[in-house]
Amino acid sequence: MRDALLALTDEVWQVSEVMTPLYEGKAKRLYATDDPEILRMEFKDEATAFNAEKKAIFENKGKLNKAITTLIYQMLEEKGVKTHLAGEGDEINLMVRKVEILLVEVIVRNVAAGSFCKRTGVAEGTEFKKPIVEFSYKSDELGDPLINDDYAREMGLASEEECALLKRDALIVNEVLIDFFAKSGLRLIDFKIEFGRLSSGEIVLADEVSPDTCRLWDAKTGEKLDKDRFRQDLGGVMEGYQEVLRRLSDS
């Protein structure tokens, strides 16, 4: 009996050890796999906004964001953009190549919204002549403050050459995404992407691309179909995400 209990305890311990995430963020968890170069990225149903001051749980958010990120990564790979995608996984888990995430978040804006409007007073919806690329320091403690490439260099976050590469790649991703979403009647207002360094040193697109990280408006009506529905208490948050997935899957 004691042996059986010990064996059971051992088994439970092993299972729980396997299930302990290597890392847990606001919207995702990362787990090790048998392959040291591959991780399992689990999309959570938790949602946060305003640097986690506002929190909620939305049933199916993980599933929807996993499906949307997968579609977008597959499309980007076909267009020659390298991502950390390694395999489709299952409903809420994406298999990704292990990277060291750069602590520089890259934001691209085509139309004024969110913090840009707050910072500048420019009206929401104002279209830019050319996209704006912005860097922020990935730090929850500091609330992801706006930085530039000089900050990134001096803070040791990315070299000058790497900053130039991030900006160039982000603009390529923007061009590809604008077209991709336009085919589904969606207007890409802005988005945030992250990059990671593979063990080979190569920098690839990492993290997620979903309505949590992109502002997407219906091209005809201007209806918001992204996380602003949560930020601004517009209701129908998951209906918006579901609509994005439906349109992308149909196109």
Name the site residues for ligand UDP (rule: CB under 6 A).
Answer: 107, 113-116, 144, 190-192, 213-215, 227
Establish how many alpha carbons lie within 13 A of residue 5's alpha carbon, considering only the half-sphere containing its beta carbon: 2
Closest approach of ligand UDP to the CB of residue 244, in Å:
13
- Residues 53, 180: Cα–Cα separation, whole Å: 32
Closest approach of ligand UDP to the CB of residue 103, in Å:
12
Cα 211 versus chain centre, distance: 9
Question: Are 195 and 166 within 8 A, CB to CB?
Answer: yes
Q: Which is nearer to ligand UDP, 107 or 163 (CB)?
A: 107
Q: Which is nearer to ligand UDP, 92 or 189 (CB)?
A: 189
Closest approach of ligand UDP to the CB of residue 215, in Å:
4
DSSP 8-class letter at 216: E
Closest approach of ligand UDP to the CB of residue 233, in Å:
14
Cα distances (angstroms) measured from residue 139 to each of 103, 145, 147, 154: 8, 8, 12, 16
Q: Enter the tokens of residue 144.
A: 């992801």
Q: Enter the tokens of residue 156.
A: 């040791």
Residue nearest to ligand UDP (CB): 114
Q: Which is nearer to ligand UDP, 24 or 202 (CB)?
A: 24
Q: Which is nearer to ligand UDP, 15 or 122 (CB)?
A: 122
